[in-house]
Structure 1
């Protein structure tokens, strides 16, 4: 194989053969292809795209670059969910124990936040003692005994993707649906789950800003899963407004606990139940307990407590609270018609809830509390936001970010919570 020929083929709009794809992924993973050559191929893919066959084989080649977990011998059917990320997206926290309480096993490998989007592991690490790093043996034991696990992916899973993503991040080649889809799916397929539900976010706080591009990404990922023998379905869901009313690590854990206690914000409950039903159906468990009942009768909370303990956490320990709080008040009375998810996420980031670089530390207690959501009435002088931080010098920039984040009595239109279903 000649890497120059492969670059030129894609540059000129040709289709790469399975052999070319297998070779180029393996050679790059093992250092036989220079960074600038792989960067050139990535850029050619950005411009020329990929066929379904190319994307499926590219994903398979990245998947085969490392180990693949196998849970087929578990006594429960396995099913998992992946979200493309957003603001206030704490759904994994109540969802995993809910599905476990309904009889499935959920091997949930999650990540950390970067920029305005939060990370599931950062949220869970606000629980005293909880640890994200589990060995495959510990993961299997927890799945067998508890039914659900949320942990960090090991370095042996899809190492080609880790190397490729780092290169794309510094060469302007992140924004390619084939490369995004293959990156996500290579990691999710490596988990060894038998069924997968994708939550593809749409709106200002999401990676995909419009429905058409989100639908294309969802369709591509569903096709990859299907081609690799995993039952896969995707929901397109709204991220023009934050999910729930708490944005920040410990704040979101507290809100997830409200949901697991049978309460919580309506949008979090609705999406948790909808995704749980999709996961159970994909796992071919038509007679499973209904997720809504699991939230109401306390069995989802019981599963949560077992999950936290299994990973060293104390489910009864108080969550961290930021040292400083400040309120932002409504400037007028009326109906809140717009609340921009991206701006709220950036405000939480500026307060210390997120990171600019992967090695940055996050503040467990930092974030934003929303006192109203679009469609609700507000009165002049009432709190719209409460800002939480350990560093009061961060308040000013966060407040500046929120100054144009909302409209009262405007003409804003909201997306429905669930926009479409792709299967």
Structure 2
């Protein structure tokens, strides 16, 4: 466009020059001056130059006009969003109220063992101390018991009687084949063998239940689980009664959260429900594993058990709080709470649009379980900025400040 304009200017300048030359020729030819042509030539040259400048500036004015972005728009490419760890999520459905719970981290039922003596006796040795790690079947203490010695003797006697009955049965079977004894005697000896075997099994079971003592009545009290010894309640030389606790063992890796909840919550909370937990170590997500109505020892409150969906729990005994969504509604729209930002005093969410995000005003409702109800402003089909949505708010404020300057 510039080149074309320059050509037109040169053309107009050439015409003006020809007019001047023509006037000079007329003056020389006729020997007199004619002011009119000269004046016209002088006026034509500046006019042509001004026209050339006007035509050359027009395109610049058109090219300088820029279309302004709509209000609330933040230009952001997919690569920039990924670099900023900006997570785009869909609009969910649900909603409801949030109930706060208090609880503690406790060992699971099968992670605690109060190891007791199966028979009364004298404590010969204590083989563990509090804080010591033990494995399944490891001896905790050694006991000498007269009762246990009796059980072992009964088992040995029953085994001897079974062996004698077996020999009688085998001898009668051989004699019956030779026609010496009747088949009736063979059947009788077989019945005695079966009875002796039953007595032997019973005697051995009693001896095993007593701790499998040796002939002297000495037995070991062993741990039924792997874990850490938390308490030892006997000492060498002491006497422990049948059923008396020798030591306590806990597996610290098998723990769960136990919450006390109002009795009415038992009708609305089910296993598998999500739970948001707060602890001194930070917040994390969990899932309900069991609900027991009236299981509270004194208050009769509902007991809710839960486990984390990922990661490890704080140590046993740690206090925790829980937030569980109840009274859910199926038709409401919800978004992550962090997706709702405040811009100029209004709640907005940033909806993904081509080449960026558009701030859209919304009417926010209740909050529960890390999500916020959206009562107006969304249709449910949008994709919105979730995690780190505050970065878009900051970028929007920055753009408005620059525009104001």
Q: Which has the higher helix share?
A: 1
Higher relative contact order, chain-length normalized (CA < 8 Å, sep 6+): 2
Output the TM-score relative to the length of structure 2: 0.18
TM-score, normalised by the number of residues in structure 1? 0.17
Which has the higher Rg, Structure 1 or Structure 2? 2
